[in-house]
């Protein structure tokens, strides 16, 4: 069952920065940046230092925000009495997944880091935590990492041996719920099977408005429904948006009232009364499920512009399909160039032929070929010196370019309020008003915080607009 991968596919989430504070296959710095503290929400210029252990001369250290001792004591007391944190951090999820990978994969398996990050991310989804919209963007580089992992030795070229290893690993199917790591996470009674109740848990956390995907829908709603652009949703704006979103009225209340009336009138009396009542109740349950699914699809449609702006769409450009490796040819195994294939050379040829046939017949070969074609498309854009090798440095530059383009696209989507293709002075002033009010619409980098980084993001993208 591919519930989780189906969720990701439906949303087409392809963009962002990596989720965990660990080395990335992309070479990009990873992990969320800590919040920037300020002395005044309306004055982000007075930024506090977050370097708590500076080894420099105290006289040269940044000036810290002075906290009243009584306030600090109250904070310490509150912290001491707080309930333990039950939820896992992203780092903890990654480390748990990495421990599983180290235990169950060969030491020389080249995809250990990728699988650990991927499983850790799915663990976040299964735990159903509410996340900011930016978390959804974080899934994007997993897709790029999945392609980049094809070049296991990082030399910029793809060999058949790498294709074969990739096809056997079948990385794109790691998200199936029968993966041992994921199964253990949701198999509550540890019987090795997923019951209907356990599958329903997966379905509930996949309901995007209540789980890890919630942030993107929160942002989509305020972007679409805040019609007066004051940065807040009034009751009237929310009601109007919900009414448009529903498109059809909720039938459940009416059906439940009808059931209550039938109960009161004794319509379920008699020998078969309970059976007929159960049948009517089952109809209500079916209608409820259908209506909820309709609501979910409507919410996805509402968020589609924001989701699409998070996608690395430039990677989908038209590039001629690159020929896949052909079957091994006997003459290429004439190691001593004597024109004769001896017994040892014949054995090597047969081994290579068997590997080729096994690879082509495996379910993972299709995915390996997809990654091979995606690698070729990325290389067509990122092989800057045109030497036919897509090196790690070129990958890094390519990803930086994709991220810059994505950021510019998100900038226009959220802040070009008159849809003229640019964010003007009036619109920038509106953003500043949102920022000072702490509105979600001022979260320009989508990390769920309203802080100085949002100002930096706006400054960069406002100044870098094309004339």
pLDDT in tens, 82-123: 566 555 567 888 899 999 999 999 998 899 988 998 888 777
Q: What pLDDT is attached to residue 344?
A: 92
Q: What is the mean pLDDT of residues 194-208?
A: 64
Let me know whether 133 and 26 are in one domain.
yes
Q: What is the mean pLDDT of residues 241-248?
A: 75
Dig out the tokens for 419 from the structure.
């849809």
Q: What is the largest CA-CA distance in the chain?
A: 98
Integer Cα distance of 269 and 414 in angstroms: 59
What domain count does the chain have?
2
- Residue 279's CB is within 10 A of a number of other CB atoms, namely 10
Which pLDDT band holds residue 156 (cuts at 50, 70, 90)? very high
Let me know whether 159 and 188 are in one domain.
yes
> 177 pLDDT exceeds 90?
no
By residue count, the chain amounts to: 467
Integer Cα distance of 393 and 137 in angstroms: 23
* Domain housing 242: 235-309
Say how many Å lie between the first and final Cα of the chain, rounded. 49
Q: Given 288, 309, 330, which residue is the final one in a domain? A: 309
Q: Given 281, 309, 337, which residue is the final one in a domain? A: 309
Q: Nearest to residue 127, comparing CAs of 65, 67, 213?
A: 213
Q: Could you list the beta-strand ranges (E) of 78-223.
A: none
Do 93 and 212 meet the contact criterion of CB atoms below 8 Å apart?
no
* Least-confidence region, from 30-34, 148-152, 189-193: 30-34
Q: What is the mean pLDDT of residues 162-168?
A: 88
Let me know whether 143 and 262 are in one domain.
no
Integer Cα distance of 31 and 161 in angstroms: 32
Let me know whether 179 and 289 are in one domain.
no
Q: Nearest to residue 313, comparing CAs of 383, 401, 445?
A: 401
Task: Decide if 216 is inside a domain.
Answer: yes
Q: Given 246, 278, 309, which residue is the final one in a domain? A: 309
pTM: 0.68
Do 446 and 133 meet the contact criterion of CB atoms below 8 Å apart?
yes
Q: What pLDDT is attached to residue 135?
A: 73
Q: What pLDDT is attached to residue 89?
A: 64
């Amino acid at each position: 069952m591919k519930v989780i991968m189906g969720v990701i596919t439906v949303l087409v989430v392809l963009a962002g920065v990596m989720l965990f504070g660990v080395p990335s296959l992309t070479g990009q710095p990873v992990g969320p940046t800590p919040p920037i503290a300020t002395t005044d929400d309306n004055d982000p210029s007075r930024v506090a230092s977050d370097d708590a252990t500076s080894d420099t001369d105290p006289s040269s250290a940044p000036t810290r925000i002075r906290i009243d001792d009584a306030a600090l004591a109250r904070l310490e007391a509150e912290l001491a009495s707080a309930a333990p944190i039950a939820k896992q951090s992203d780092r903890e999820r990654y480390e748990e997944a990495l421990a599983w990978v180290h235990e169950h994969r060969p030491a020389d398996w080249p995809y250990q880091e990728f699988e650990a990050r991927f499983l850790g991310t799915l663990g976040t989804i299964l735990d159903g935590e509410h996340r900011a919209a930016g978390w959804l963007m974080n899934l994007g580089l997993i897709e790029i990492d999945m392609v980049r992992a094809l070049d296991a030795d990082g030399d910029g070229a793809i060999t058949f041996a790498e294709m074969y290893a990739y096809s056997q690993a079948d990385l794109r199917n790691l998200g199936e719920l029968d993966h041992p790591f994921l199964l253990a996470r949701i198999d509550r009674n540890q019987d090795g099977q997923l019951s209907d109740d356990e599958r329903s848990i997966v379905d509930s956390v996949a309901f995007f408005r209540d789980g890890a995907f919630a942030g993107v829908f929160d942002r989509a709603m305020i972007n679409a429904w805040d019609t007066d652009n004051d940065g807040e949703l009034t009751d009237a704006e929310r009601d109007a948006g919900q009414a448009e979103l529903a498109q059809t009225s909720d039938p459940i209340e009416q059906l439940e009232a009808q059931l209550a009336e039938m109960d009161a009138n004794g319509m379920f009396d008699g020998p078969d009364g309970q059976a007929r009542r159960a049948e009517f109740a089952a109809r209500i349950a079916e209608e409820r499920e259908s209506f909820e699914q309709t609501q979910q699809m409507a919410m996805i449609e509402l968020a589609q512009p924001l989701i699409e702006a998070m996608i690395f769409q430039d990677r989908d450009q038209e590039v001629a399909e690159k020929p896949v490796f052909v079957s091994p040819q006997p003459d290429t195994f004439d190691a001593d160039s004597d024109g004769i294939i001896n017994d040892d050379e014949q054995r090597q040829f047969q081994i290579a032929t068997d590997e080729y046939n096994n690879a082509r017949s495996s379910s993972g070969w299709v995915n390996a070929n997809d990654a091979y074609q995606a690698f070729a498309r990325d290389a067509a854009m990122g092989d800057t010196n045109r030497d036919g090798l897509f090196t790690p440095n070129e990958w890094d530059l390519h990803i930086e370019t994709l991220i810059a383009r994505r950021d510019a696209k998100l900038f226009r989507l959220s802040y070009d309020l008159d849809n003229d293709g640019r964010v003007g002075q009036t619109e920038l002033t509106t953003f500043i008003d949102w920022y000072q009010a702490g509105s979600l619409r001022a979260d320009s980098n989508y990390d769920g915080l309203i802080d100085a980084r949002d100002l930096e993001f706006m400054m960069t993208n406002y100044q870098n607009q094309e004339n």
